[in-house]
Chain A
């Protein structure tokens, strides 16, 4: 049944449903706007669930592929003797596909988006515009994870920046505009570097020579098709890998070792800014404090994952040998991220900053998993993407509800919330414990797999990085207990009504996210099985 339906296109553009509904509803009707947006994200969630469940775990490569040629541009041929091809074409393709990795992240996107839509009930102004940007952002995120074309990926990637810029800049806290600008500058630089790397990839490895009829002149088609690039790079005899002087090739540019290394390094930096890796992380601190919590759920829960996804999909999958060359660097950066983020989280006085630095620390685990360059490590990295997405979404969901009631998340102005809000405090504790990698929840599985993977290849780094586990426990408990344990501050003791426990609309997403966190912790096979082929094929070339 799924074969006949363009499920990925439906999924990617399912937020359009909500966009149309939101456009039709007058802007004063906040309740209806919220409902429309929530329903729209739920539709996406159902589609994403359908897609994810339908994935065949035994198949290698992409499933549900949908491809259409979008624009073809004939290229000039100024030097006719250059090569054998008669006709050169640049082809922009609309091409989507999903494997276990992108399927899982697309599902994560749908899940966290709908939970964030619930959490957006705290938004106080300009609902209509808010939900429009929100849903456009969702299209961008789906597109990023499902694109099978570099250029399309780039478009979707950029399509997440602009909505995010406005979501931070309009609905954020006091210093929101500065935060939005900083966000845009950093990510703009990252995108520029990514674009250059992509162009280099397309120009050297993005060609194909479809020639059904030998009597017809040879055609040379350039495109950003990831499958084509993968094939060309994988085949040592392909034109991309062999100097044309020696073989007389259709392709004028071959890809030398140095070029591959440069491309990998550029991808590492471009996606590293997004991840973020030290020292490119300061922009995301600002976003964590200034953006509205429901937007941070998306930012920390999904957008950061785009960096790691890009690194895996285009860095490791296309250039595994170069990943091997840089593995030590990635591992060291990962350990630095873990320890630097953890030690800094230790001394923050603002809970959201603790969580921001904790994100840096936790993304270090992703880097460790990647640096391991074995299936175990990559599983750990991919698991951590999903796990951290769920956990940070849960934590910021609760942060949003706390801010709504207390107007602060500064540790020394809070305390004893467990008395007034037992359910929410309990959830915060659950989120904290998940974040510090308590077994039985998803965070442990990813930590275990990432460290296990790294231990095989770089045991010393794994041991040093594991020390971060201790510091994580310290800062998480310090933050969570400062808010929930102890006595209520006097300010709230007088007026207890401010601190009412979670409403149903707040409790539902908390319970749903927790359920997924626990499910992944108890039965990780639900994620590791679909991931398996996607990840092991990345390493096929380096015998991992």
Chain B
């Protein structure tokens, strides 16, 4: 059996779950959640089967494009699905994290009265994300790209009575939409420049490499596509929505805002990588934005106090890492970027679910009020510690290998980016140490009664913890399996002892300083806050970017709106009023006939008809000559 040919089934399972839950959710109180979990499990099994099949020798990519979406003139836009090693990897990541989050939510959302709606949305998201991954062309990709965005919007605003959730949902949708318009225009540009008006990814690959597209078009298209990725992956300057999106339920933060959807931007760059390869300007843009975001978000994370926001800025920073890797532009840096996407999905989902376990236990998100939770929540603490080590890049956890792969590429190709990334790695370890020690060690700093979470929640933590340890072993110095499988060729040797030592120094150093500051001392007040006020304030307020956008964009736009409203009311409508005043003045007699009686209107109609006839007949008198 060729499982690859049945890959379309993978998104169909969660779609069915969504449809059933939406239509019958109210009637099937208890079993609705089971339906969603079952669908996620089926999708995961199918994805694994496809993956296993693709491990063999001589596998070929499979494409089906039999659905004619629309035909316009001489060309048609076909929809279908494509299976290659890149998206098989994504399929496994998405279905696995989705399955674990489904199970976890059974515990986390247990008491929510809209739990069925929640599971329906999660299923819809899983379907959309899988559809995105399998898309064969940019239009289809864009459709699913927007659908995952709307699912994110729905789930961020899931607790819709909270004003903060409403604002965050709106912001998530609108800010990513700014990026989407970039991608949209990029799509239009490519459409008219591609041979045969084809937007298929395979055609884009060929056109970029064969020179069918001019250099300017490639650069413009690549940068426009990247703008879309910037919005979705929370890169500077469109990063502001992602931390706010933490208003959503925590399992959602793990699934959508850490492991899958936000990584879709990186996947998009990977999918259209040949465009970037052919344009140095586009690559440089990607690398600079990614590198800057990596260090910029890491510094903000140093001074946040909400457990989820710290992790959110960490996600932004790590996505910056992946973009940076893509921006270096070699095949091995591309591999490194995808490798980091893959390991990050596991350990960041682990950290978010761990944070969810903490929030579930103490009903509090401010780490300054926590402390000493480790003694009561052993599994959560241990798994969280594993996640922390993986994210901080400590040997031999998964994050070390993927981060090392990126750092090595940067070191050999663009040394500046290497140092930026190294400092970011140091900050990463520092803020994670701060988070970990403030939450799990020391004494409780407020009155709370923590308890370990139920098994449905700890089980996913354990699974992810195992993955956070072992996921990196597919690709490390001496073992290039992952790269060979992904690319179909050897990505080249990527080991460098200097880099390994430096990255370990940064990681361990960050953790050590974090421990000195937050772990060793008995916490009374935030030490950093007390001593480095202006810098802390700047980071705590996230460099005032939100305020800048509010005063620089939102308020002026609204101001223009009020101005135009006045203009519309008094100038446009006013001019018409004057005009109609003149008309009604001269037409008093005519108006008197408009007394609402049908006969009068009939009469007017007849008169009109007569005028028409006279005009036709009489014109001959006027035009002769």
B610, chain A: closest CB distance, angstroms = 12
Given contacts A347-B561, A439-B147, A524-B70, contact A467 B181 (CB under 8 A): yes
Q: Is B188 a contact of A445 with CB atoms below 8 Å?
A: no
Say if the beta carbon of B497 comes within 8 Å of chain A: no
Given contacts A438-B146, A455-B188, A532-B71, contact A282 B572 (CB under 8 A): yes
Residues 98-138 of chain A, each 1 if its beta carbon lies under 8 Å from chain B, else 0: 00000000000000000000000000000000000000000
Given contacts A474-B174, A481-B166, contact A195 B576 (CB under 8 A): no
Of the residues B565, B608, B619, contact of A203 by C-beta under 8 Å: B619
Q: Is B161 a contact of A416 with CB atoms below 8 Å?
A: yes
B590, chain A: closest CB distance, angstroms = 10
Chain A positions within 8 Å of B560 at CB level: 343
Say if the beta carbon of B516 comes within 8 Å of chain A: no
Q: Is A455 a contact of B189 with CB atoms below 8 Å?
A: yes
Q: Is A470 a contact of B177 with CB atoms below 8 Å?
A: yes
Say if the beta carbon of A515 comes within 8 Å of chain B: no
Given contacts A438-B150, A469-B181, A485-B157, contact A449 B72 (CB under 8 A): yes
Chain A positions within 8 Å of B142 at CB level: 439
Q: Is B177 a contact of A473 with CB atoms below 8 Å?
A: yes
Of the residues A76, A347, A455, contact of B565 by C-beta under 8 Å: A347
Chain A positions within 8 Å of B612 at CB level: 151, 195, 199
Say if the beta carbon of A433 comes within 8 Å of chain B: yes
B167, chain A: closest CB distance, angstroms = 9
Say if the beta carbon of A14 comes within 8 Å of chain B: no
Residues 574-588 of chain B, each 1 if its beta carbon lies under 8 Å from chain A, else 0: 011000100110000
Instruction: Report how far A44 CA is from B83 CA in the complex, Å.
Output: 47
A492, chain B: closest CB distance, angstroms = 14
Given contacts A343-B564, A467-B181, contact A473 B173 (CB under 8 A): yes
Instruction: Give the residues from 484 to 502 in chain A that come closer than 8 angstroms, CB to CB, to chain B.
Output: 484-487
Say if the beta carbon of A444 comes within 8 Å of chain B: yes
Instruction: Give the residues from 135 to 155 in chain A that come closer than 8 angstroms, CB to CB, to chain B.
Output: 151
Q: Is A79 a contact of B620 with CB atoms below 8 Å?
A: yes
Residues 437-460 of chain A, each 1 if its beta carbon lies under 8 Å from chain B, else 0: 011100011001101100110010
Say if the beta carbon of B160 comes within 8 Å of chain A: yes
Chain A positions within 8 Å of B624 at CB level: 78-79, 82
A136, chain B: closest CB distance, angstroms = 11
Instruction: Report how far A200 CA is from B275 CA in the complex, Å.
Output: 54
Say if the beta carbon of A346 comes within 8 Å of chain B: yes
Q: Is B192 a contact of A528 with CB atoms below 8 Å?
A: no
Q: Is B166 a contact of A485 with CB atoms below 8 Å?
A: yes
Q: Is A462 a contact of B188 with CB atoms below 8 Å?
A: yes
A230, chain B: closest CB distance, angstroms = 20
Given contacts A185-B583, A343-B561, A456-B192, contact A279 B170 (CB under 8 A): no
Q: Is A445 a contact of B173 with CB atoms below 8 Å?
A: no
Instruction: Report how far A159 CA is from B612 CA in the complex, Å.
Output: 17
Of the residues A78, A343, A487, contact of B557 by C-beta under 8 Å: A343
Of the residues A203, A478, A484, contact of B160 by C-beta under 8 Å: A484
Chain A positions within 8 Å of B620 at CB level: 75-79, 252
Chain A positions within 8 Å of B615 at CB level: 199
Q: Is B572 a contact of A376 with CB atoms below 8 Å?
A: no
Instruction: Report how far A462 CA is from B580 CA in the complex, Å.
Output: 35
Instruction: Report how far A253 CA is from B174 CA in the complex, Å.
Output: 57
Instruction: Report how far A346 CA is from B165 CA in the complex, Å.
Output: 20
B579, chain A: closest CB distance, angstroms = 9
Q: Is A379 a contact of B169 with CB atoms below 8 Å?
A: no
Given contacts A203-B616, A467-B181, contact A481 B143 (CB under 8 A): no
Total residues of chain A contacting the partner, CB 8 A = 75
Q: Is A528 a contact of B583 with CB atoms below 8 Å?
A: no
Say if the beta carbon of A162 comes within 8 Å of chain B: yes
Instruction: Report how far A466 CA is from B227 CA in the complex, Å.
Output: 14
Say if the beta carbon of A16 comes within 8 Å of chain B: no
Look across to chain A and name the residue whose beta carbon is closest to the beta carbon of B615: A199
Chain B positions within 8 Å of A410 at CB level: none
Chain B positions within 8 Å of A451 at CB level: 184, 188
Q: Is A347 a contact of B562 with CB atoms below 8 Å?
A: yes
A181, chain B: closest CB distance, angstroms = 9
Residues 594-625 of chain B, each 1 if its beta carbon lies under 8 Å from chain A, else 0: 00100001000100100011011101110110
Chain A positions within 8 Å of B12 at CB level: none
Given contacts A158-B605, A466-B184, A467-B181, contact A252 B623 (CB under 8 A): yes
Instruction: Report how far A410 CA is from B556 CA in the complex, Å.
Output: 24
Say if the beta carbon of A516 comes within 8 Å of chain B: no
Residues 320-353 of chain A, each 1 if its beta carbon lies under 8 Å from chain B, else 0: 0000000000000000000010011011100000
Residues 150-162 of chain B, each 1 if its beta carbon lies under 8 Å from chain A, else 0: 1000000100110
Instruction: Give the residues from 394 to 434 in chain A that come closer than 8 angstroms, CB to CB, to chain B.
Output: 416, 418-419, 433
Say if the beta carbon of A536 comes within 8 Å of chain B: yes
Say if the beta carbon of B191 comes within 8 Å of chain A: yes
Instruction: Give the residues from 186 to 229 in chain B that come closer than 8 angstroms, CB to CB, to chain A.
Output: 188-189, 191-192
Chain A positions within 8 Å of B169 at CB level: 477, 481, 485
Instruction: Report how far A506 CA is from B572 CA in the complex, Å.
Output: 37
Say if the beta carbon of A529 comes within 8 Å of chain B: yes
Chain B positions within 8 Å of A79 at CB level: 620, 624
Instruction: Report how far A467 CA is from B180 CA in the complex, Å.
Output: 11
Q: Is B192 a contact of A455 with CB atoms below 8 Å?
A: yes
Q: Is B561 a contact of A528 with CB atoms below 8 Å?
A: no
Say if the beta carbon of B69 comes within 8 Å of chain A: yes
Of the residues B145, B150, B189, B596, contact of A433 by C-beta under 8 Å: B150
Instruction: Report how far A352 CA is from B173 CA in the complex, Å.
Output: 23
Chain A positions within 8 Å of B147 at CB level: 438-440
Instruction: Report how far A98 CA is from B623 CA in the complex, Å.
Output: 36
Instruction: Report how far A212 CA is from B191 CA in the complex, Å.
Output: 52
B325, chain A: closest CB distance, angstroms = 29
Look across to chain A and name the residue whose beta carbon is closest to the beta carbon of B573: A282
B396, chain A: closest CB distance, angstroms = 43
Look across to chain B and name the residue whose beta carbon is closest to the beta carbon of A195: B612
Say if the beta carbon of B492 comes within 8 Å of chain A: no
Say if the beta carbon of B568 comes within 8 Å of chain A: yes
Instruction: Report how far A522 CA is from B199 CA in the complex, Å.
Output: 18
B172, chain A: closest CB distance, angstroms = 10
Given contacts A346-B558, A347-B562, A456-B192, contact A90 B616 (CB under 8 A): yes
Look across to chain A and name the residue whose beta carbon is closest to the beta carbon of B554: A474
Given contacts A73-B613, A340-B564, A455-B188, contact A486 B557 (CB under 8 A): no
Interface centre among B70, B144, B163 (most CB of A within 10 A): B70
Say if the beta carbon of A222 comes within 8 Å of chain B: yes
Instruction: Give the residues from 254 to 311 in chain A that come closer than 8 angstroms, CB to CB, to chain B.
Output: 278-279, 281-282
Residues 46-84 of chain B, each 1 if its beta carbon lies under 8 Å from chain A, else 0: 000000000000000000000011111100000000000
Instruction: Give the residues from 245 to 276 in chain B that come closer than 8 angstroms, CB to CB, to chain A.
Output: none
5 A-B pairs closest in CB distance: A347-B561, A439-B143, A455-B188, A282-B573, A485-B160
Q: A282-B572, A347-B565, A462-B188 are in contact. List 5 more A-B contacts (CB 8 A).
A: A73-B616, A76-B620, A279-B572, A455-B189, A525-B70
Q: Which residues of A contact B (CB under 8 A)?
A: 73, 75-79, 82, 90, 151, 158, 162, 166, 182, 185-186, 195, 199, 202-203, 222, 252-253, 278-279, 281-282, 340, 343-344, 346-348, 374-376, 379, 416, 418-419, 433, 438-440, 444-445, 448-449, 451-452, 455-456, 459, 462-463, 466-467, 469-471, 473-474, 477-478, 481, 484-487, 523-525, 528-529, 532, 536
What are 11 pairs between A and B in contact, CB < 8 Å?
A222-B616, A343-B561, A438-B150, A439-B143, A440-B147, A449-B72, A452-B188, A469-B181, A473-B174, A481-B166, A485-B165
